[in-house]
Structure 1
Amino acid sequence: MTIRRRDALAAALLGPALSALPAHAQTSLGGCMPMGDWTSFAARHIQPDGRVIDFDTPQQHSTSEGQSYAMFFALVHDDRRNFERVLAWTEFNLSGGSLAQRLPAWQWGRKTDGGWGVLDPNPASDADLWIAYALLEAARLWDEPRYRTLGRALLALVVREEVVVLPGLGRMLLPWPKSLGKGPVWRLNASYLPLQLLRRFHQEEPTGPWNEIATNTVRMIGATAPQGFAPDWCGWSTEQKAFVVDPDKGATGGYDAIRVYLWAGMLSPQEPARATLLKSLYGPRRALEKSPAPPEYVDTGTGITRGTGPAGFSGALLPYLKAQDATAALAAQLARIPLDLGGTAPAGPRPLPYYERMLLLFAQGWLDGRYAFTKTGALQPQWRPACPSTRTA
């Protein structure tokens, strides 16, 4: 077992005694920190020019989501070189040269004519939030004012183009620009709305819509999880003045919703809405009392599950299970995570897909104490030298 997994398992089993320590000290108590997951991910997925590739797609595409997450993890690991080159590629290729003037296109890759470029110019608001967050926190942690200027400009674009007042609800972030939205049912996605980010934006812009959006997000999750499971998508009906089943995707929870549990699990214990969210999202914990693996899909209206979730789902649930003090389930999910995530061993298994790797980077990094979030959403990275024995996954 690697140092990374040994320390995480120790954190799970030590329980309350360990939780009394500072967040960054709960899982890695030595003089160095494991970095192998990030370095192997960057070596495989980040190209020299800063493009983050999802190799498991026919178009070998890159997404604004992938670029945003890579910026976040570069900051978590004090990796300024990768942060800057990922930012530069994103701005030039997805925003026409200026993130301050244009929200990034969500998809770029191989076109049908064999060329390369933007495949879908529409933005995705979750990526827009993560890019803005990474810029604001990089400005603070690295003392780089130009990042704050750019982050604030991007956030202003988000408010102008992606925040809408929904009758009967109030201000809310749409998954895409409001020019693409339409009533009487407005489509929403809880996984696009990490409460940590909304709290941080409120600190940056106290007169902005962020606290109202956070309140509405908590309300949305509670209203759309009758069996304790979050759906991938939902809707707000302006006629019923209520949250409803998404008209296109139905009540299924799967590859989007898995992030809702991840974001909730990583909330600061001082976050006022944390207990409410965890109480609303009891479904995965209950499911793992009966099964060794999380379901791949669930009908959130009935609670009926199908399929076995991949290793990335187990990873995404680690902070959630830690927050719920579900020690046995946490240990069981850790055991499902491959030791060689990136296929670094010559005869090892096929590398995990991009999305699973990202879920594991979030969850394992948090569990290992590489970073935490404050109650106001600020990032608390733990920058220490990398452990030499964990430079490969």
Structure 2
Amino acid sequence: MAALLAAGGAAHGQGAGCAAADWPLWQRFAQRFMQSDGRVIDHSVKQQHSTSEGQSYAMFFALVANDRERFDKAWSWSIANLAEGDMGKRLPAWQWGRREDGSWGVVDPNPASDGNLWFVYALAEAGRLWNEPRYTEQARSLLALVAAQEVADLPGLGPTLLPAAQGFTMGSATWRLNPSYLPVFLARALQQLDPKGPWKAVLASHARLLGEASSKGFIADWVAWHAPSGTKGSFLTDPQKGDVGSYDAIRTYLWAGMTPRADPLAAVQQQRLGGMAALLQGGAALPPERVHVSIGHAEGQGPVGFSAALLPYLQARGAQAALKAQQERVRRELLEAPQDAPPRYYDQVLGLFGTGYLEQRYQFLPLGRLQPRWEQACPNQGRSATPATAR
């Protein structure tokens, strides 16, 4: 697979004298799941919906591919359709698609904090890498809204990222949290972008979640923080989703695998999230679809996207036999799948993250900076980075 397209080729996002990355999986994803106006569609659901998460992920992948045209379109569509034309004044709605009455528009107006933070990160790093101050300012504006509306000071835990602005507080003493919503490397970048913000404290509460809510080497999709008056508080099994780790939790292993080894929390993640590697090294051919984390019981067969998500994690843990087995599955079922096999949206997303990282198309540096492979071929694009984003 070629590292870069030849300079002057007809690739999306190509800057003057600087080639866009040749990333076949990204090109197939964009052709299958992105409209020409930048809308990312999940065809597998009834609503044919678009989400803030999907839009922000597409922007990140476009940045990794040096595909500015698709980056701009995905961002413009998101502003117009998820934020009523002004992302600086309101957080984007989580879900847009076909409503029950057949009309098209916002289906769920509640924002999702993970998508919002990936928007912020993609914009901030695009501002630095493409030398575009407008992106950086948009990132700061959106991050200020997230801090004001989606960070809560929980008793006994401190400032904590909530999954959304509303709907995750159960009474006055219990909050529902999602461990996959805050990658450590992303939180490091937020501290650099907004040094006076709550992000150092938010990462500290997240570190407690990873350290105290994992069980048997696994993490659940959702956990609860319970802090009745007069107590120190503790993490409990989520009252709605139970102790199951599945389609959300798989990202927690993915983020752990991509966390720079020099990061102080890298060792914590490796220590607390070793169950999946042990399972695969112990003879399981494929990752399970579900794990009951309180007892370490695995069920079902996870889709190929799970295997792709685990590639950086298995590499980081030195689980070579398991890594090789999952690489072979990903090659067979994702990278070289028959053209007539309909690709699944989430498998493709996890595949882009996992294989892109393993192919060294990008990496995260200790303070959260993104280093895409194409940056070495474009030495002049990031020279004007401001002190707040240069790191």
Displacement of 1:340 in angstroms is 6.3
Within the alignment, does 1:73 sit opposite 2:95 as a pair?
A: no
Which of 257, 261, 266 is matched with 1:265 structurally?
257
- 2:243 corresponds in structure 1 to 251
Q: Following the alignment from structure 1 to structure 2, what is the Cα–Cα distance between the partners of residues 150 and 99?
A: 8
Q: C-alpha offsets along residues 302-325 of structure 1, whole Å, 9 cap, x if unaligned?
A: 001110111100000000000001
Which structure is higher in RCO with an 8 Å CA cutoff and minimum separation 6?
1
Displacement of 1:341 in angstroms is 3.4
Displacement of 1:349 in angstroms is 2.4
Q: Following the alignment from structure 1 to structure 2, what is the Cα–Cα distance between the partners of residues 41 and 79?
A: 13
| SS of residue paired to 2:374 | coil
Which of 268, 276, 297 is matched with 1:276 structurally?
268
Partner amino acid for 1:245? T
Within the alignment, does 1:105 sit opposite 2:72 as a pair?
A: no
| SS of residue paired to 1:273 | helix
- 1:217 corresponds in structure 2 to 206
* TM-score of the aligned structures, taking structure 1 as reference length: 0.87
Q: C-alpha offsets along residues 219-272 of structure 1, whole Å, 9 cap, x if unaligned?
A: 101211121101000011112501111111111000000000000100111111
| SS of residue paired to 2:330 | coil
Structure 1 segments of 4+ aligned residues over 4 angstroms from their partners: 31-34, 342-346
Within the alignment, does 1:311 sit opposite 2:299 as a pair?
A: no
Residues 235 and 246 of structure 1 are in contact (CA less than 8 Å); yes or no, is this contact kept in structure 2?
Answer: yes
Residues 22 and 65 of structure 2 are in contact (CA less than 8 Å); yes or no, is this contact kept in structure 1?
Answer: no
| SS of residue paired to 2:235 | strand
| SS of residue paired to 1:78 | coil
Which range moves more in the overlay, 176-185 or 250-259?
176-185
Displacement of 1:350 in angstroms is 2.7
- 1:192 corresponds in structure 2 to 181
- 1:140 corresponds in structure 2 to 128
Q: C-alpha offsets along residues 73-104 of structure 1, whole Å, 9 cap, x if unaligned?
A: 11111000000000000000000001111101
Residues 203 and 376 of structure 1 are in contact (CA less than 8 Å); yes or no, is this contact kept in structure 2?
Answer: yes
CA RMSD of aligned residues (A): 2.0
Q: How many residues align?
A: 357
* TM-score of the aligned structures, taking structure 2 as reference length: 0.88
- 1:372 corresponds in structure 2 to 363
- 1:23 corresponds in structure 2 to none
Using a 3 Å threshold, how does the CA distance of structure 1 residues 328 and 150 change in structure 2: closer, same or farther?
A: same
| SS of residue paired to 1:356 | helix
Using a 3 Å threshold, how does the CA distance of structure 1 residues 309 and 3 change in structure 2: closer, same or farther?
A: farther
Within the alignment, does 1:88 sit opposite 2:45 as a pair?
A: no
Q: Following the alignment from structure 1 to structure 2, what is the Cα–Cα distance between the partners of residues 314 and 51?
A: 27
| SS of residue paired to 2:207 | helix
Which of 285, 294, 301 is matched with 1:292 structurally?
285
Residues 334 and 351 of structure 2 are in contact (CA less than 8 Å); yes or no, is this contact kept in structure 1?
Answer: no
Within the alignment, does 1:56 sit opposite 2:56 as a pair?
A: no
Within the alignment, does 1:206 sit opposite 2:195 as a pair?
A: yes
Partner amino acid for 1:274? A
Displacement of 1:33 in angstroms is 6.1
Q: Following the alignment from structure 1 to structure 2, what is the Cα–Cα distance between the partners of residues 52 and 209?
A: 31
Q: Following the alignment from structure 1 to structure 2, what is the Cα–Cα distance between the partners of residues 244 and 179?
A: 18
| SS of residue paired to 1:226 | coil
Extract unaligned runs of 5+ from structure 2. 4-18, 378-391
Q: C-alpha offsets along residues 284-335 of structure 1, whole Å, 9 cap, x if unaligned?
A: 0111022011111010100011101111000000000000011111000011
Q: Following the alignment from structure 1 to structure 2, what is the Cα–Cα distance between the partners of residues 80 and 158?
A: 25
Residues 309 and 354 of structure 2 are in contact (CA less than 8 Å); yes or no, is this contact kept in structure 1?
Answer: yes
Q: Where do residues 233-252 of structure 1 align in structure 2 (5 Å cutoff)?
A: 233-239=222-228, 240=231, 241-252=233-244
Within the alignment, does 1:350 sit opposite 2:328 as a pair?
A: no
Residues 32 and 384 of structure 1 are in contact (CA less than 8 Å); yes or no, is this contact kept in structure 2?
Answer: no
- 2:115 corresponds in structure 1 to 127
- 2:30 corresponds in structure 1 to 42
